[in-house]
Structure 1
Amino acid sequence: MAPTEPRLIIIGCGTAGIALASRLRFQLGYKNFTIYERESHIGGTWYLNTYPGVGCDVDSHLYSFSFNLNPNWSRKFAEQDEILEYLNNTVDKFGVRPHVQLGIEVVAATWISEKNVWRVGLRDMTTKKVHHQEAEMLVSCVGTISIPKDCDIPGHEDYQGSIFHSARWNHNYSLKDKRVAVIGNGCSAAQLMPHVAREAAQVIQFQRSPQWINERPNPAFSELQKWCFRNIPFYARWYRFSTWLSIDALHNLYVTGTDVLDRKRAAAQVEAESYMRKTAPKKYLDILIPTFPLGCKRRIFDPGYLQSLHEPNVELTNERITGFTKAGLTTPKRSVDFDAVILSSGFKIQEFLSPIEIIGTEGKTLNEHWEDTRGAQAYRATFVHGFPNFGIVFGPNAFPAHNSVIFTNETQAEFIVKTLIKPVLDGSFETLNVKQAAENYNTMHVQEKLKTMVWSGGCANWNLNEAGRNTTNYHDPTWKFWWDLYWPVWEDFNLSGSKISLPLAPWTRLVLWTALTPVAVVSMVHGLRTLL
């Protein structure tokens, strides 16, 4: 017998899971859900990434939830510990913590058509035992900046020194007076290099490709500013909105094909190059400054990285690593011994929901479905055909390159509530499955728009899969993302179950209210006249 109230399982308790769960509590008052988090703490990437210097490159007041503004951010760009504290505060403030099961990994989920439920396999990370739970709805809030790339350098198994990824920082290992190699030069490497340079006796950073680097002033908020955020009505919200608005305008830097936009990006590129030439050691400029356009790879906002390259114990090289030895690394030019090797080589961005095996109505896994379509895709970044009552937050083509991912996380969470969770709870239908034609049409539109973006500008970046298809980025400003996901287009879905009535769009309700109010007023006046 089906339960009286539909159940929901949420996978992951990072920013996406917190955004969805909080909304369920304060917007719907819904409690019949469980969040399974494989780590021993909540926070997702902000719990896992603890390397020295880790922080955010989005303004703190924007990199936060719209329903939980924080007037006490210490500075413009917060660091990991402060962000994690804020996430924990949100979980407690909105009653989410009792719904979280820590140390439980979702390993598989299968749609059971006969019962219209998801059967979810759960592994206890301590005992390794697997058990199962069922739920009418399933939402993935799995982040992508969580699983580090495997080391693919030959011979790494034989290396006898210490080796670890920046996202799995070894806090028990002291870098003091050590010879250290840092492999990679993306955002994480830029943040940790100043610390490594201060601690280690010798540091050689192996650059795989150049990066555009921008200045990053990070002023502290004064006590007066914090007082204003706390006490002046709407001041904090206005600051957040104006910050979002100004950052969203930077979307133009990523669009190509018109003289006006090309000139804007060229001007921004000149500014970045000027900063790099002014700040970096002259001996490294030839390998530091890219030849591809600004924005083709994720921009770095300099946390002191370029200045650290001036240190006498630091060397930057673009020599290709050919392999490990027992004592260090080899390149075509030399062999160098190292006490430790730090891998700052990125994450498995293209492996959405990996390694969870999710099986839909056709007996295919989600990854097999995406292999058939030459890459991960989802209708409005959220729903996938053949996987009923299943939503994704932070899925394919939901990454805002220029704005806050928490904004898009919240937008998707709200879309899932409106499209799936609230209608199912209200009894409007039992199952929702996006039509294949709707998914394909939406995906083709997204991919056509992405062809005009700078990510196809000839650089190697993690946005493109092996087929050259951009599966990560959203193609428009984030206000458009919000509008695209503001209300469901019910014709794009196959619905089954006892339909009562589908929720009306706000504008439909407004039209009906506008049309019916005069009629109601006339009827009331007529009734009063009759009585009198």
Structure 2
Amino acid sequence: MTRLRVAPQANGTSNGAASHIAKAPYTVVEKPLGSTKHVRIVGIGAGASGLNLVRTLRKQLSDYELVVYEKNDDVGGTWLENRYPGCRCDVPSHNYQFSWRPNPEWSNFFAPAEEIRKYLCRICEEENMRDSIKTQHRVSGAWWDEARGLWDLSVLNLASGEEFRDEANFIVDGSGVLNNWKWPDIEGLTTFQGQLIHTASWPEAFDYADKQVAVIGNGSSGVQLVPTIQPDVKKLYHCVRTPTWIIPPRIMTMMALNGPAKAVLGQIELDEKENFSHAQIEKFKSQPELYRHFVKSMEKDINGAFPIVLNGGKLQAFSTEKVVQYMTACLGGNERLCEALIPKFPLGTRRITPAPGYLESLRAPNVELLHNNISRIVPDGIQLKSGEAVKLDAIICATGFDNSFCPRFPVVGRSGNLQDRLRTHAPKAYMSCALPGVPNYFTFLGPNGPVGHGSIFTASEHIAKYITKVIVKCQQEGIKAIVPSDAAVEDYNQHIAAFMPRTAWQSPGRSWFKNGKENGPVTALHPGSRIHFFHMLGQVRGEDWDYTYDSPSRNRFAYLGNGFSTKELDPEFDSTWYLDEPDKL
């Protein structure tokens, strides 16, 4: 397997050969303008992003082949893996869906994990996507071959244990930012002799009833798990290192802020647990205008939330006051709990999380809060800094994921193994979709993507369209390799660094937005609103990329071909289209 590294030429355009090598003589390519070359695309991951990639390529691309490697035994990604009690989306259900596959039958305002998994599986079946997806297959290495303009891949068949080779013109990594779960860094963790569980790898047979249990972590998973299991456990110790903002129920917030969704929410039938009534679901199914109005109103409300994280703004100040009041009320005014659980850092520094019942559950007689006072884990439980020992049957770690953006396998591009770079340097990407020094390699929700801005479903649609535009450009313009220029990546990340201090995300406070650090660069979030991200991806900025061309002469205009256009050679195409669209850009 070739593992070649070749630096770009001084003129910013890499051609896979040293700059002193003479160009081959130029000859006209005997193909019409608009011809496409065949490409092979390898996708990684069959969660929401991977499934959307399959559909987008089918709709927008021709002359290609695609295989998506998925390590799990079925599609669904995070919604297959996360099955802990209480797991659900914290974005309203009717916005946590693909725009091209609306689902009027969501059961709850915030859909349970299993319902989202079934939604994704149903799409996979009904869209006949399984012929493009190989489950129980894990990519274990990728090496860029400069001379051939191809990726060499190593793939492990997890069912058979066989490892085989594949190759691709393009790799599209949709493995997800919240996928590689991690244990907490606590001394003695592996010495525990009871049941040690991570929320992202929940054992279905685990029975927590009448057990003494510790839940470590108060991120999105922890605040959903605690109130769900609290009524059934004998004793629950909740271990919290950093406080987090818990906002009022989303419907209450939308109504209080008088946003676009307020009017339509008043017409929707929900019970006290925010389940949609059967009659309401039937209305959504039989009245498409009502359904679309509801979805769009909710989407506008979500898109308008960005000012809350802008430091010094009136909306942030108003929201902070209301959230403090809400948390204080839910904690019953208990001074010890309020001091431990209500943050001092700005609203939005950590992910803003709705968590019905969480704060109230911490006042239950069978719950004890352990606030930043774990010394170590011992074989039968937790030893506190005071010396006191807490005996446990199970320790549940709701401690999140590796957010370093470091791939889980070697990705060897023009600048060596990407893993080596990301182990020592903060991740930098181009518009979150492409990486410097890594040609023909694209990412869904890479560094500084919109993962905290609302639904990733519609975000993945915009990303997939953008990546597809780049691939089409390569197909039609004779481009063998494309990579964002180092200058473009540096300029883009300079903008990120200058912008982030305007937001609560940059404020001191431990957050996965900063890869778990108290201080440091914000590497997980886009520097702007959700609409800002979509707008940014509207056009491909060709000037920000370095190109290697297929033509032996390395002539960028070889794609102009034999003087004819595929448009005039297509008998079904109207070759006088321009007469009908005089004002169209």
TM over 0.5: yes
Cα offset, 1:5, TM superposition: 2.3
Query: Which residue identity does 1:347 align to in structure 2?
Result: F
Match of 2:488 in 1: 438
Cα offset, 1:470, TM superposition: 1.1
Match of 2:508 in 1: 458
Matched residues in 1 for 2:177 and 2:582: separation? 53
Match of 1:129 in 2: 162
Cα offset, 1:58, TM superposition: 0.5
Task: Say if 1:253 and 1:265, in contact at 8 Å, map to a contact too.
Answer: yes
Specify whether residues 501 and 208 from structure 1 end up closer, same or farther in structure 2 by C-alpha distance, changes over 3 A only.
farther
Match of 1:253 in 2: 308
Residue 291 of structure 2 is aligned with which of 225, 236, 241? 236
Specify whether residues 172 and 515 from structure 1 end up closer, same or farther in structure 2 by C-alpha distance, changes over 3 A only.
closer
Cα offset, 1:282, TM superposition: 3.3
Matched residues in 1 for 2:276 and 2:353: separation? 23
Match of 1:416 in 2: 467
Task: Say if 1:51 and 1:192, in contact at 8 Å, map to a contact too.
Answer: yes
What is the SS of the residue equivalent to 2:39?
coil
Match of 2:328 in 1: 277
Cα offset, 1:91, TM superposition: 1.3
Match of 2:399 in 1: 345
Kindly tell me the number of residue pairs found equivalent between the two proteins. Answer: 501
Match of 1:479 in 2: 531
Query: Which residue identity does 1:402 align to in structure 2?
Result: H
**Correspondence list, 1:36-435, <5 A:** 36-216=69-249, 219-256=274-311, 258=312, 261=313, 263-283=314-334, 284-333=337-386, 334-350=388-404, 352-362=405-415, 364-370=416-422, 374-420=425-471, 422-426=472-476, 428-435=478-485
Give structure 1 stretches of 5+ with no counterpart.
503-512, 522-532
Match of 2:544 in 1: 492
Matched residues in 2 for 1:379 and 1:370: separation? 15
Task: Say if 1:188 and 1:344, in contact at 8 Å, map to a contact too.
Answer: yes
CA displacement 1:294-332 (0-9 Å, x = unmatched): 111111202311221232211112042111111110111
Specify whether residues 514 and 228 from structure 1 end up closer, same or farther in structure 2 by C-alpha distance, changes over 3 A only.
farther
Specify whether residues 100 and 184 from structure 1 end up closer, same or farther in structure 2 by C-alpha distance, changes over 3 A only.
same
Matched residues in 1 for 2:352 and 2:162: separation? 43
CA displacement 1:447-487 (0-9 Å, x = unmatched): 21112111122211111146811111012111111111111
CA displacement 1:37-78 (0-9 Å, x = unmatched): 011111111111000000001011111111111111112110
Cα offset, 1:514, TM superposition: 13
Matched residues in 2 for 1:518 and 1:52: separation? 58
CA displacement 1:478-525 (0-9 Å, x = unmatched): 1111111111011111222255269xxxxxxxxxx999639999xxxx
Query: Which residue identity does 2:401 align to in structure 1?
Result: F
Cα offset, 1:29, TM superposition: 5.8
What is the SS of the residue equivalent to 2:155?
strand
Match of 1:530 in 2: none
CA displacement 1:269-309 (0-9 Å, x = unmatched): 11111111111243322211111111111112023112212
Specify whether residues 471 and 6 from structure 1 end up closer, same or farther in structure 2 by C-alpha distance, changes over 3 A only.
same
Task: Say if 1:25 and 1:94, in contact at 8 Å, map to a contact too.
Answer: no
Match of 2:259 in 1: none
Matched residues in 2 for 1:177 and 1:520: separation? 74
Query: Which residue identity does 1:135 align to in structure 2?
Result: A
Matched residues in 2 for 1:116 and 1:519: separation? 39
Cα offset, 1:118, TM superposition: 0.5
Cα offset, 1:239, TM superposition: 2.6
Task: Say if 1:158 and 1:326, in contact at 8 Å, map to a contact too.
Answer: yes
Instruction: Give RMSD over aligned pairs.
Output: 2.4
Match of 1:525 in 2: none
Higher helix share: 1
Structure 1, 24-33 or 428-437: larger mean CA deviation: 24-33
Matched residues in 2 for 1:13 and 1:30: separation? 22
Specify whether residues 185 and 518 from structure 1 end up closer, same or farther in structure 2 by C-alpha distance, changes over 3 A only.
closer
Cα offset, 1:424, TM superposition: 3.4
Matched residues in 2 for 1:79 and 1:329: separation? 32
Specify whether residues 76 and 500 from structure 1 end up closer, same or farther in structure 2 by C-alpha distance, changes over 3 A only.
same
Matched residues in 2 for 1:100 and 1:518: separation? 42
Cα offset, 1:24, TM superposition: 1.4
Show structure 1 runs of 4+ deviating over 4 A. 513-516, 518-521
What is the SS of the residue equivalent to 1:7?
strand
Query: Which residue identity does 1:190 align to in structure 2?
Result: V
Query: Which residue identity does 1:55 align to in structure 2?
Result: R
Matched residues in 1 for 2:280 and 2:291: separation? 10
Task: Say if 1:400 and 1:478, in contact at 8 Å, map to a contact too.
Answer: no
Query: Which residue identity does 1:282 align to in structure 2?
Result: G
Residue 447 of structure 1 is aligned with which of 497, 509, 512? 497
Matched residues in 1 for 2:222 and 2:246: separation? 12
CA displacement 1:161-206 (0-9 Å, x = unmatched): 1111111112222111111111111111111112221221111111
Query: Which residue identity does 2:534 align to in structure 1?
Result: W
Matched residues in 2 for 1:63 and 1:519: separation? 36
Structure 1, 229-238 or 339-348: larger mean CA deviation: 229-238
Task: Say if 1:109 and 1:357, in contact at 8 Å, map to a contact too.
Answer: yes
Q: Percent identity?
A: 28
Match of 1:528 in 2: none
Matched residues in 1 for 2:581 and 2:124: separation? 47
Matched residues in 2 for 1:133 and 1:172: separation? 38
**Structure 1 length as normaliser, TM-score?**
0.89
Matched residues in 1 for 2:382 and 2:79: separation? 31
Residue 11 of structure 1 is aligned with which of 24, 27, 44? 44
Cα offset, 1:369, TM superposition: 3.8
Task: Say if 1:398 and 1:408, in contact at 8 Å, map to a contact too.
Answer: no
